[in-house]
Chain A
Amino acid sequence: MEEKFAYIEGAEQPISMHPKKFALWLFMVTVVMIFAALTSAYIVRQSEGNWLEFTLPDIFYYTSGIVILSSIFLHWAYVSAKKDELVQVRLGMSIAVILGILFLIGQWYSWVALVDKDVYFVGNPAGSFLYVFTGLHALHLISGVIFLIIVLISSFRYKVHSQSMTPMEMCVTYWHFLGGLWLYLFMFLQLNH
């Protein structure tokens, strides 16, 4: 009996994941590779010396908090969607979108803080890297906010519910990923400074 089971398993579709979801995961792999390349470039460059030392803007702590909060609210919306509690879905997602935009504004103020410390985009690569990390991450986060808004709109059209979770699941995955990516970058900068 067991042998038969194995045979069927080998013959049937091995992964039950939705193809679009799978494609999203692959896209996230490419984003990981971009930031892996940039952060390892940072380490290689830093080890060569002539490296500008400065403290990171404190605002990064607040933006990290915001990004965690937005993920929590989004998760609440996701759990509510599974239970078909649509009001909470809309509320949770709206808060997540607002927090996402707040995060972006916070990142902008981190640049202002850097300029106040005389750390510019043009100059020693130590500063330039910081601008590239935050800027490129913010670009991806903007795409995440747009994704959230699209799903939010479709939730107002009653298209997000327990029977139709794929877009919701995808945007939740992407949003958690982007939040995690920021936390990684922040920790990386704290450790390699």
Chain B
Amino acid sequence: MATANLATHGATDHDHDHEHHDNFITKYIFSTDHKMIGKQFLVTGIFWALIGGFLSILFRLQLGFPDMDLTFLKPLLGGWIDDAGKLDPNFYLALVTMHGTIMVFFVLTAGLSGTFSNFLIPLQIGARDMASGFMNMLSYWFFFVSGVIMFISLFLENGPAGGGWVVYPPLSALEQAIPGSGMGMTLWLIAMTFFIASSLLGGINYITTVINLRTKGMSFSRLPLTIWAFFLTAVIGLLSFPVLFAAALLLVFDRSFGTSFYLSDIYISGEGALPNTGGSPVLYQHLFWFLGHPEVYIVLLPALGITSEVIATNSRKPIFGYKAMIISMLGITILSFVVWAHHMFVSGMNPFLGSIFMFLTLIIAIPSAVKVFNYLTTLWRGNLIFTPAMLFSIGLVSFFISGGLTGIFLGNSAIDIQLHDTYFVVAHFHLVMGSASFFGLMAGVYHWFPKMFGRMMDARLGYIHFWLTFVGVYLVFFPMHYIGIAGFPRRYYSWTNFEFSNMYTDLNMFVSAAAIITFAAQFIFLFNFFYSMYRGRKASLNPWRSTTLEWTTPLFPGHGNWPGEIPAVYRWPYDYSKPGAKEDFIMQTVPLSATPESNLPHEQELVKLEKEIIAEEEEVLVANESKES
């Protein structure tokens, strides 16, 4: 389905691409151009976001309206709706599992990192393409195969994987345990193997490109914060995904070959003891969360990077604390690897170990707070321009604060005993990780749509989309905190069976209604996205009056990005509203010697060096030319 969309949406830039003549297949399907691969990731990500969102609506119907007759869904869900019109409880488990897997990996990892790392890294650092276009193409197609396998698993007779997105053994390791641990689980593991391969291929490429292929003058201290974020995200992925692979490999052996890495002394209803002996289920949790926690930052950091860029551009101010932003991202990167056991406070782990992990977890609040502070101070007294991208970025900051605060509660091992695996956790991570990253993704799409498709998205529809989504997200997730504090566990099929949670029926109905409205609002975006691709207003070369390199390319950059030489870079990417400057932004490609009116004293020093270097280069050029002739 995704390819069918891809097949059409680059059609507009066809006649601008004179440089080389690709046929249909090499241009839109097996493309090695980073821009096309980025778009492929984006469209596939949107496809998966719709499926993942739709699954959540299905289980919200069950939670909010437990007495509802769901017979009208029978044409779609078939046997999963029983004769009384009720959702099958096993399928409910599969729904939450697939919703989590799809959203975390397919939408917010591949759809976010895959899209923007691919699209923006070469454009913003001044490179012709990724270090290896072929590996980049492989990365997309591994992701695509992974998606196909996961999609097929949705239609199995026993349903897709049902053990939660974390697939803890022994539940996920034994076919007898639940229907969702059968074939669905096998396909889940195969799909994830392809996904890991895809992420690693992508990540290796991103890191290599950022380190090796920057244009002249683009030192690390002149990189836009987006690139810093993508770079660090790729580093995190490179170090953590192999560990998930190791965890999954051992799980495959336990499931299919009868080993006992995670299994020991298990009795299943009516059967005698299983032969497995000596395994440790906590071992899986350690391995899984060693990926699982960094994964949170794999999802979040690109969104934070995009936000930095969008907020600085639309505040017409340099980003506040550029170095502090980089250092805090570095801090988050390092800390993300030493906090994984805060997901396991109640796993029976040594409580002393728990207090160490609690301490390390709470330290993450510092770099996070630095970032929030810098966003707010960048906004402070800026000449704010409320484009849809800007609104989504501010929305991200809001979710990052409100969701981050509850993280401080959950990070305390004592409070976590009460809150663990309740709706409080669901509310926390949907705000701080899910919604914040989703808003980063949206900000990125609205902001770079003109560069992707040469046209503008409709701003008015963007505003409607933003407000419905922003208010909707809070209406969905804020009430969940109360349900969670009351102690209601996540992943339960029904509320009505327990006295203490009976009183939350109305609140749940409210949450479900808000979720449906929020989901429906996404179709406004979908219409805007595809309509603007063909009929949107033609974009100008630099519609947001931004300073970074991607806006120096032609409206429809060919494969190679710049028709002539790659421009050199002479300054950092945040020269907005510089005192004395003619305009309120100076592109990175403008030499300091061209702007004597706005240079600071130390920059004036650099002008001399700049002139000498330019003179030397010209000498070399002249020498070369005389040799040739």
A residues contacting B by CB (< 8 A) are 3-4, 7-8, 10-15, 17, 19-20, 22-23, 26-27, 29-31, 33-34, 36-38, 41, 44-45, 48, 50-52, 121-126, 128-129, 132, 136
Is A19's CB under 8 angstroms from B132's CB? yes
* A-B contacts, CB under 8 A, total: 118
Closest residue to B568 on the A side, CB-wise? A11
A23-B135, A23-B205, A34-B246 are contacts. A41–B283 as well, Cβ < 8 Å?
yes
Chain B residues touching A, range: 35 or more
Q: Is the pair B249, A123 in contact by a Cβ cutoff of 8 Å?
A: no
Report B-chain residues with C-beta under 8 Å of the C-beta of A13: 212, 214
- Shortest B611–chain A CB gap in Å is 11
Q: Does B582 contact A (CB under 8 A)?
A: no
Q: Is B612 an interface residue (CB 8 A)?
A: yes
Q: By the criterion CB–CB under 8 Å, are A27 and B204 in contact?
A: yes
Q: In whole Å, how far is B357's beta carbon from the nearest beta carbon of chain A?
A: 15
Closest to B261 in A: A125
Complex contacts, A41 vs chain B, CB 8 Å: 246, 250, 261, 283, 286-287
- Interface residue? B531 (CB, 8 A): no
- Provide the residues of chain A in CB contact with B207, threshold 8 Å: 26
Q: Roughly how many angstroms separate A132 CA and B257 CA in the complex, as a whole number?
A: 12
CB atoms of A15 and B242 under 8 A apart: no
B131 near A: Cβ within 8 Å? Answer: yes
Q: Choose among B204, B209, B259 the residue with the greatest number of A CB atoms under 10 Å from its CB.
A: B259
6 nearest A-B residue pairs (beta carbon): A33-B242, A37-B246, A19-B131, A37-B243, A34-B242, A26-B204
**Is A125 touching B213 in the complex (CB atoms < 8 A)?**
no
Q: In the bound complex, do residue B280 and residue A33 qualify as a contact, i.e. CB atoms below 8 Å apart?
A: no
In the complex, A125→B238 CA distance in Å? Answer: 27
- Complex A-B: 11 CB contacts under 8 Å: A3-B609, A8-B613, A13-B212, A26-B238, A33-B238, A34-B242, A37-B287, A37-B290, A44-B280, A128-B253, A128-B260
- Residue-wise interface mask of B (194-236) relative to A, using a CB-CB cutoff of 8 A (1 in contact, 0 not): 0000001001110111011110110111000000000000000
B278 touches A121 (CB 8 A): no
Q: Are A125 and B279 in contact (CB under 8 A)?
A: yes
A23 near B279: Cβ-Cβ < 8 Å? no
Q: Taking the complex as formed, is B144 at the interface, i.e. its CB lies under 8 A from any CB of chain A?
A: no
Partner of A15, one of B135, B205, B212, B606: B212
Nearest to A39 among chain B residues (CB) is: B246
Q: Determine the chain A residues whose CB is within 8 A of the CB of B606 once the complex forms.
A: 7
B217 contacts A22, CB within 8 Å?
no
Q: Which residue of A lies closest to B264 (CB)?
A: A50
Cα–Cα distance between A45 and B606 once the two chains are bound (Å): 59
Could you list 14 further interchain pairs (A-B, Cβ under 8 angstroms) beyond the known A26-B207, A34-B243, A132-B249?
Answer: A3-B609, A10-B221, A11-B613, A19-B131, A26-B204, A29-B239, A30-B241, A31-B242, A38-B246, A41-B261, A41-B283, A125-B279, A128-B259, A128-B261
**How far apart are the CA atoms of A132 and B250 in the complex, in Å?**
8
In the complex where A23-B131, A121-B257 touch, is A30 in contact with B287 (Cβ < 8 A)? no
Complex contacts, B277 vs chain A, CB 8 Å: 50, 124
- A4 CB contact (under 8 Å) in B203, B220, B258, B612: B612
**A124 contact set on B, CB distance < 8 A:** 260, 277-278
User: How far is B234's CA from A22's CA once the two chains are assembled, in angstroms?
Assistant: 14
Enumerate chain A residues within 8 angstroms of B259, measured Cβ to Cβ: 121-123, 125, 128
Shortest distance in angstroms between B534's beta carbon and chain A's nearest beta carbon?
37
B364 lies within 8 A of chain A by Cβ = no
Residue of B nearest to A26 (CB): B204
Scan B328-361; emit 1 where CB is below 8 A from any A CB, else 0: 0000000000000000000000000000000000
Smallest CB gap from A51: residue in B = B278
Any A CB within 8 A of the CB of B247: yes
Contacts of A37 in B (CB 8 A): 242-243, 246-247, 287, 290
- Within 8 Å CB of B131, what residues of A? 19-20, 22-23
Q: Does B245 contact A (CB under 8 A)?
A: yes
* List of B residues within 8 angstroms of A12 by Cβ: 216
Contact of A26 among B208, B243, B258, B283 (CB under 8 A): B208
Output the least CB separation between A97 and chain B (Å). Answer: 25
Residues of chain B contacted by A27 (CB below 8 angstroms):
200, 204
Contacts A15-B212, A26-B207, A34-B243 given; does A44 touch B278 at CB 8 Å: no
For B249, list chain A residues within 8 Å (CB).
132, 136
How far is the CB of B352 from the nearest CB of chain A, in Å?
A: 15
Kindly report which residue of chain B lies nearest to residue A12, judged by CB atoms: B216
CB distance from A32 to the nearest CB of B (A): 8
Question: Which residues on the B side are within 8 Å of A8 (C-beta)?
Answer: 613
Contacts of B253 in A (CB 8 A): 121, 128, 132
**In the complex, what's the smallest C-beta–C-beta distance from A49 to chain B, in angstroms?**
9
Contacts of A34 in B (CB 8 A): 242-243, 245-246
A19 near B212 with CB under 8 A, answer yes
Cα separation A129 to B280 with both chains bound (whole Å): 13
- A132 and B259 CA atoms in complex are apart in Å by 11
Q: For residue B221, which residues in chain A have a CB less than 8 angstroms away from its CB? A: 10
